[in-house]
Amino acid sequence: MIRYDSSASGCAELGPGAWRYDLAVAYRIYPRVSKPAVSLPFGDDKLRQAEICLRSFRNSLGSLRVKVWAILDGCPREFRELFQRYFAPEDLVLIEVDGIGNQATYAKQLDILLSQGDAGVVYLAEDDYLYLPEQFPLMLRFLRDGQGVDFVTPYDHPDCYQLDLHREPEWVTVFEGHHWRTAASTCLTFLTRKSTLARYESTLRTYSRGNNDCAVWLSLTKRRVFNPLAPLRFFAKGEFYWKIFVQAWLFCWRQIVFGRAARLWVPLPGLATHLAAGLLSPCVDFLALMRAEELGRQCGMGDVPGILRESFDSPRQL
């Protein structure tokens, strides 16, 4: 791994007072549990799972000024009420759509965040992420003051340690006592500047046209896409990853050939996890934290050791 020290590089877009809010969030939610999360706590109760994730997200924001667009994809009334409990009316926009699906709600996230004028920093959020408390401001400061930071994900994906697809030299730095490293790809929950989102809009939108999310990120970071042996190696092994390289070139060849390579950063350990069995962020026992929350619910929401200690009926205000 290659290591360097971060240095401040102020950006007017992220400077205090430049925008009404510190962060604009497009948070999409669907009323069914995803297959990878079925075996996890609350895998049989999407409303409860959504409550836990949303509350953890709210607690992670700390004192940030946040504007939230909640995209409710075929959700019953109870899901709308979750957002109304945790965010003030003036900071919340509810957008109800009728089961339009993953690709369409992702496209709507891009539409919202690119057109809004409330914040220079934007966050695309999926509904099945569990966050550590008071950590989101650290990600935002890293985006603002870190060196060469284009995108940040809170999720330290285990694939980065397990798959040959990710075995390349990484940049590693220390910022505010936390380690960060570059990554080739992640999922579709990430933080960036509005201007960066606009710069890479055409590539990011290919996911809504059928591209694979990993192929999108490989095109942005330009990791291994110029190595003709990489897809051949996966093809020879019978692994499907060769298709990712084909999709990257099919959908994003202009970015690969002519675009500027972006840097995607990951905190070590992760500041959140995607709720996918066997693929939780390492080094933090997120599963134990979810079980602690489950125990708290069974005991009447008592003060159990976990990240979600606040009563569901007592939301904090920004």
Answer yes or no: is pLDDT of 2 > 50: no
Give pLDDT tens digits for 84-140.
Answer: 999 999 999 999 999 999 999 999 999 999 999 999 999 999 999 999 999 999 999
* Domains (range + CATH), the chain: 2-200+262-298 (3.90.550)
Tokens 């693929």, residue located = 279
Cis peptide preceding 31, ω within 30 of 0:
no
DSSP structural state of residue 209: G
CA gap 79, 281 in Å, rounded: 26
Using CA atoms, how far apart are residues 258 and 91, in angstroms rounded to an integer?
39
| Confidence at residue 169, expressed as pLDDT on a 0 to 100 scale | 65
Query: Which strand (E) or helix (H) includes residue 28?
Result: strand 23-29
Q: What is the pTM of this model?
A: 0.87
pLDDT at 280 over 70: yes
> CA torsion sign, 153 to 68 to 304 to 33?
negative
pLDDT confidence of residue 315: 37
Whether the CB-CB separation of 92 and 168 falls below 8 Å is answered with: no
Q: What is the mean pLDDT of the chain?
A: 86
Name the residue among 215, 216, 193 with its Cα closest to residue 203. 216
Q: Determine the Cα–Cα distance for residues 244 and 184; give it in Å rounded to an integer.
A: 13
Asked if residue 14 lies in contact with residue 64, where contact means CB atoms within 8 angstroms, the answer is no
Tell which phi-psi region holds residue 74, choosing left (phi > 0), alpha (psi between -120 and 50) or beta: left
pLDDT in tens, 127-177: 999 999 999 999 999 999 999 999 999 999 888 777 766 666 678 999 999
